[in-house]
Every structure is written in C-alpha cells, then in structure tokens.
Structure 1
Amino acid sequence: MRPNVAPFFDCATSTFTYVVHAGDGTPAAIIDSVLDYDPKSGRTSTASADRVIAFVREHRLQVQWLLETHAHADHLSAAQYLKRELGGKTAIGEQIRTVQGVFKRVFNLGGDVPADGTQFDHLFAADETFTFGELTGRALHVPGHTPADMAYQIGDAVFVGDTLFMPDVGSARCDFPGGDAHALYRSVQKLLALPPQTRLFMCHDYPPPSREARCETSVEQERRANVHLHDGISEDAFVQMRTERDRTLSMPVLILPAVQVNIRAGEMPLPESNGVRYLKIPLNAF
C-alpha cells in the first residue's frame, strides 16, 4: 500500500500535521494536529487546524482516527477541536498512563485528570493494527524521547514522531521525564530495519539556514546520512553524544501549557467558578 500523505507545516512550532488517506471520498487519519497558542496572551486559535479541516472537506474524506505520536511538549493538540468538526477517535500509545502519572504530580492535578488514559478514545498496544477504509496501520512502540512514543506504519509510510529528524538534524532529545537515550537508540534501530525504500515522515523539522523545512525522508537516507544515527554508530557513542547535547538545550517554549493539555487528549482544564479555564505554571519544577 502507498497511502496519500498530505503534510501541513506549522511554522510557529516547526510541527508537521498529516492527513493520510487512500483517495478522495475515503476514510482518513489525522496525525499530530496543532492548536495555535499565544504564550504571551494565553489565547488559543484554530488557523492551523482549520487548514486541515478545509482539506478534509475539499476531498470528502471521512476522518476515523486522530492519532498522537506522544504527548507533545512543543505544541498543543487540536484533537478535540478536530473531533468536534470532523469526527474520529483520538488515540495514543498505552504508555501515556506513565506520562500522565509523572505530570499529574508535577502540576498537582486533581481527580479530573486520572492517570489511566481514559481521556483518549483508544490506547494502542505495541504492534497493534488498526484500519481505516482499505488502509491498515500498525502502532510501533518507540520509547526514548518519552516512554509513550509511538510511530505509525501505514503501508509504505511511517510517521516517526519524535524519534528521528531529517538526516542533517539527527535525533530527538531524551532529557524529559522518563526519557532514555538507550531506549531511543534501540527504537531507531527498529525503524531503520524496515525496507530501505520505506518513507519516513517527520513530526518536526528544524532546518539549517541553507534549506527550507522538509517532512519526508527514507530508511535508506537515514541509514546513510543521519548525523546522529547513521549506520556504524554504536549505542554507547550515541548515548554519550545525546546526553551531552541534551545538557545544552533549554526547555521548549510551550512545554508547560502543552503537556497539561496533551495528556488530556487536547482537552482544556475545566472552567473554574468564574467560567475561566486556567493552566498551571509550576515554579522551579524543571
């Protein structure tokens, strides 16, 4: 199977959202959607998601899945907005429970955020298969960036989440709670054992000034040229590099609002007595 893949790039967060389908008028999946958020004002908007909605309606697609590769730290998910507008089931890997447990303690969240994954319509087990129309997907557990990261293999395409980046950018950080550079190395080896022509679609791209953002590479290209994980790099060498590099990185701009929303499957906190919803900012917690 060679599914049609429509990418949508959000410049503010360097995030790619994907619509995957077999053709006009067929069932579809949306992967890693973006809800626009202004950290200065605390306002949300839906311009990025509305571009996706317009495409879905133009091509008469029936959304069946709203997939998240993990609980993102750099953008807020638009899954709930898309679900209201287009339908579909929200889904993520079952290890999201672990991530929810960690951040429930960090943000001191109450009983409205149970750490059991019930905020999502479906939790994927490792290697579980799913279908939409004539397309079949497989959920690959690829921990390392977080314990809950999933990649979705649909036909000859794999949506890798935050495991690999484009060959000239390398790999994802592993210093968030539950991150593990050893696990990331092994997860990437699983992806790079797929056939060389397998298409790999990035969740993000952070390009050097010499090129524009790109979303697609291949197993062959990553094995040959990935600056962190090309063929011949040992696990110990990668872990040393990744650990040293992570020590130099600052926190993502949106990590505090994003994680609170994304462990809720894109739902905002409940309104308080004045009708306003609030996100928490823990002091000196990171």
Structure 2
Amino acid sequence: MRRFQREQYLDADGAVGPATRAALNVPVQARIAQLRVNLERARWLLHQIRGDFVLVDIAGYGITYFKGAQPAWRSRVVVGRPYRRTPEFKSEITYVTFNPTWTVPPTILREDILPKVRRNPGYLAANRFRALDAGGREVPPERVNWKNPKGITLRQDAGPWNSLGRVVIRFPNPYAVYLHDTPHTELFGAGQRAFSSGCIRVERPLELVERLLDDPQRWNRAAIDAAIATGETRTVHLARPVPLLLAYWTVHVLPDGRVAYKPDVYARDAELLHALDARPATAMGP
C-alpha cells in the first residue's frame, strides 16, 4: 500500500484513507484519458529539450537537473497552491543571489501579510520586515496607516528567518516567480506539496546552485557555504544561462517502466481532454 501511495504522490502512511481510496477507485477509462492528455503535453514540449537543462515537474513536486540530456540530480520541491498556481513556461536561469532580501509581492502583502500586521503590530519586527515608501526610504511602522498603506512596500532582511532562505535562483519571466531555499523544510515531507504562493521552494538548493555555476575552482560547495556564512547579499551570474522548463504532467514513467499517476492538483486535465475530444483527428498542435 505504501508503494502504491508513493506512486500516486500521496502521503505514504499505509492507511487506506479518503485520498488513497479515491485513487484506487479511478476507472481504467479515466487513466487512459489521463495518458492521452499527457502524451499531448509531451508532444508540445519534449522536442524542445536537449543538452543541459532544469525541469520543474509541477504536479510531481520535483525538480531535475539534466546534464547532456541525462538526469544528473533530483530534489523535492514545494509548488503553488491551487489558487496561486505555479505557471508553466520556458526560460533560462541567469543568476543566483546568496542571502537574499525579500520584497513582498502585492498579492501576498494584501492577502497574507497585512491581516497579520493589523492583528499584531509587532509582527513586522518579529519577522525582520522593513516598511519602505515609494522612494525606497524606510518608514517607521507606527507612522504607516495599515488600514490603507498606499505606496508602502515591505522588505524582509536577509538571514535564516527570510522566506527565501539562503539563496534564490532567478530567470526572466512575467510571473515574478523563482526557485529558492526555504526555512520551512518540514513541508518537504508531505506527499502532496502545493503550499507556496507560486514560487518553487527547493529542498536542496545549494546542490543545484553548485551545478548551475559549474565552476569547481571558484564556486565549489565550500565556497558557496563561505559566501552564505558572511551574511552579505551577493549576486553571482552564471557563465552561461541554463534552460529551464516548468511543466505540468500528471503521468510519470518510473525507472522500471511502470506508470505512476499524479493527482491533477490544478484541475487542468479535463480542459485539455475536452479540447482533444473536440478537435478533428487531423488537427495537430497545442
């Protein structure tokens, strides 16, 4: 039962709870439909993948670094909640920042942080946040109207308390998402890991950074640890950008050839299946 649960990306506790029972009762025709949907997604993307690249498997809560088109490193990740989905797109990783600060995005500020500040005026100081005005100048929190903090942004100081952890990995995209470390490592133990606000939290980010920088003389693991130990915010550009693909697949082929089915956490399969059923058999393309 635990093996089945792991293959279904469920909590492998060995108990037949509601989620496990639902997975056991999925009809064969539904699994066939799931295979059709994911074969279509693979047709769109797989021909674009070659050489060295990083793949984020959103529905599988994993990340893989491919070296010469072969998997060289893997780690677990946490992705966006169903109402704050991690987007699908292609980009190139261009730089990393050690000991990053975090400027709170508007949605998180409005929906998550401000309610906490209004309930507890000490929240900002306890979590090392600074209030900044439109010109980037620090403003004492007691001078801000937190019911309507127009023009105010919040920035969290670098350090072990920072929501981005010890490192952030950046790549151009219109969604303001990135790969990063996290102080909340306990979430990596869950079977289904859709807990973030859209960004991708990586369980072992420093191992990935070492591979991305690909410079054993200047940026081996000891040098990376030393840079972090200074506590100073430092940005390092990759010698060459590394392609990145964020993909959403709800079927996975295991190393032994068996097929594993992932929960459709963002409920995207049905829409694509409807499109496949509606188009003529000769119509090809996404």
- One fold, TM greater than 0.5? no
| Bucket of the pairwise TM-score, normalised by the shorter protein | under 0.3
- Where relative contact order (Cα < 8 A, 6+ residues apart) is larger, the structure is 2
TM-score with structure 1 length normalisation? 0.27
* Richer in strand (by share): 2
Say which one has the larger Rg. 2
